[in-house]
Amino acid sequence: MAKLDTFNDPFDFRIRTLPEPNPDIQTLRVYSNEGVITKFNNLTHDTYEVVITCPEGSHVLSARAGQYGTIKVEGMQKPRSYSFARTPEMENPNEYSFFIRLVPGGEFSGWLAEKNREGEKVIISGPMGKFGLDETMKPIVGIAGGSGMSAINAIAEQVKVQDIPRDFYFFYGARTQKDLYLLDELKEFENSWPGGKSFKFIPVLSEEPEDSDWSGPRGFVTQHFQEEYLDKGIVNAENIKAFFCGPPPMIDHGVKVLEEAGLSSSDIYFDKFEDARSPAPVIDNEKCVLCDECLMAKPTKNCIVEATNFKVSNGEVTSFERVNPGHTSGLYYNSLFIDETECIRCYACIDACPHEAISPAYAQVPTMLRKL
């Protein structure tokens, strides 16, 4: 998509060629640090534990278990989102752990998987997202797939280190035995769970060879949860809090199963690992009240911009002009616009918007043209 980044009309005070906005002014709740990969460890054949260490005195980037940050390396155009894999209480100061899985064809995960990346410099930003432990004492059902292990593990660690007396069922979907990791740590939870409550880790394998020595459950993780725990009354859907993390199709199925079983959507929390294949969200400027919450949560400089003079062709925005907020009042800017070429699909803006004005389901053009 062509973009007009510089403005040529000398008589329009809004559109003189001006310096880029300072990203620090507009990302008030998201901090960035330089960091170094200080631990790089194979968890499985395609999943890596990555620990990033920032200099002493850097901004604190993770506020609580369940949140995520972004990581960017030199030469990469955009950062990528990754859930903090450990609760902040379990990390050394200025250290952040991630579990990152190789995505075939993926730029960042492909870079990571090429060789041991210890010593590489990165830019790390956070905290982002509202996913995290609720304050009730209801039993917890955590369901994760693949590297979605990260955020659910962090929440389990939080329950453990804070001695919160809650039962915890952790269902984990993987393909085969060689995709399982963290088994020893999770086993340890089973033996030392606080408050007289229990922690149960239930790995479910979908592609394990029939003739292998695996004696655990097989099939899809959400289906196993439904048939063996919900339908048999081991878990009472009306009295739990459910936390999902990982691939969107797994989460969509799990949410459907629980809602059909009677769990209210307000008792279900999820963190979908969207990526470049997912739709970019769109701002409905009919609903937007210009409160700037999304601008304060966004992880990258140019994903949400104040813009004007959109040109549209065949239902697509083909060009627009940036309004520079450093030089024009917010009162005068025209529309907030999500540039899908800059968006990293972190969905932080959707969480941040108090007016439900941002969604990946909105149509791009009709809703954004209010003020044209």
Positions that interact with ligand SF4 (CB under 6 A): 280-281, 283, 288-294, 298-300, 303-304, 336, 338, 343-349, 352-353, 355, 357-358
Least Å distance, CB 179 to ligand SF4, is 28
Residue 121's DSSP bridge partners are 36
User: Cβ of 52: how many Cβ atoms within 10 Å?
Assistant: 25
Binds 358: which of ligand FAD, ligand SF4, none (CB < 5-8 Å by kind): ligand SF4
CB 273 within 8 A of CB 248: yes
Closest CA relative to residue 136, chosen from 161, 167, 160: 167
Stretch that binds ligand FAD, among 16-24, 228-236, 275-283, 332-340 (CB under 6 A): 275-283
Question: CA 145: distance to chain centroid?
Answer: 14
- The identity of residue 159, as a single letter, is V
Residue 321's DSSP bridge partners are 4, 308
Nearer Cβ to ligand FAD (103/240): 103
Closest CA relative to residue 206, chosen from 233, 236, 246: 246
Dist CA 233 CA 262 (whole Å) = 13
- Residue carrying structure tokens 């899908």: 340
Stretch that binds ligand FAD, among 100-108, 205-213, 261-269, 303-311 (CB under 6 A): 100-108
- Residue carrying structure tokens 């009306």: 238
Nearer Cβ to ligand SF4 (104/354): 354
Stretch that binds ligand FAD, among 1-9, 88-96, 105-113, 135-143 (CB under 6 A): 105-113
Is 168 buried (19+), middle (13-18) or exposed (0-12) by CB count in 10 A?
Answer: buried
Of positions 87, 109, 153, 300, contacts ligand FAD by CB under 6 A: 109
Least Å distance, CB 94 to ligand SF4, is 25
Of positions 14, 64, 72, 80, contacts ligand FAD by CB under 6 A: 80
Nearer Cβ to ligand FAD (62/150): 150
Stretch that binds ligand FAD, among 52-60, 108-116, 190-198, 207-215 (CB under 6 A): 108-116
State yes or no: residue 273 binds ligand FAD (CB under 6 A). yes
Of positions 27, 87, 97, 150, contacts ligand FAD by CB under 6 A: 150
CA torsion through residues 270, 271, 275, 279, sign: positive
Residue 95's DSSP bridge partners are 53
Nearer Cβ to ligand SF4 (161/296): 296
Nearer Cβ to ligand FAD (98/201): 98
Residue 172's DSSP bridge partners are 144, 203
Cα angle at 250 between 248 and 253, to 5 degrees?
105
Nearer Cβ to ligand SF4 (290/369): 290
Binds 156: which of ligand SF4, ligand FAD, none (CB < 5-8 Å by kind): none
Nearer Cβ to ligand FAD (154/323): 154
Nearer Cβ to ligand SF4 (98/181): 98
Element (H, E) at 257: helix 248-260
Residues 6+ apart with CB under 8 A from 139: 166, 167, 168, 169, 235, 239, 240, 241
Stretch that binds ligand FAD, among 53-61, 93-101, 132-140, 257-265 (CB under 6 A): 93-101
Least Å distance, CB 79 to ligand SF4, is 9
Cα angle at 318 between 316 and 323, to 5 degrees?
115
Q: Largest Cα–Cα distance of the chain, in whole Å?
A: 76
State yes or no: residue 62 binds ligand FAD (CB under 6 A). no
Q: Which residues bind ligand FAD (CB under 6 A)?
A: 68, 80-83, 98-101, 103-110, 129, 147, 150, 271, 273-277, 345-346
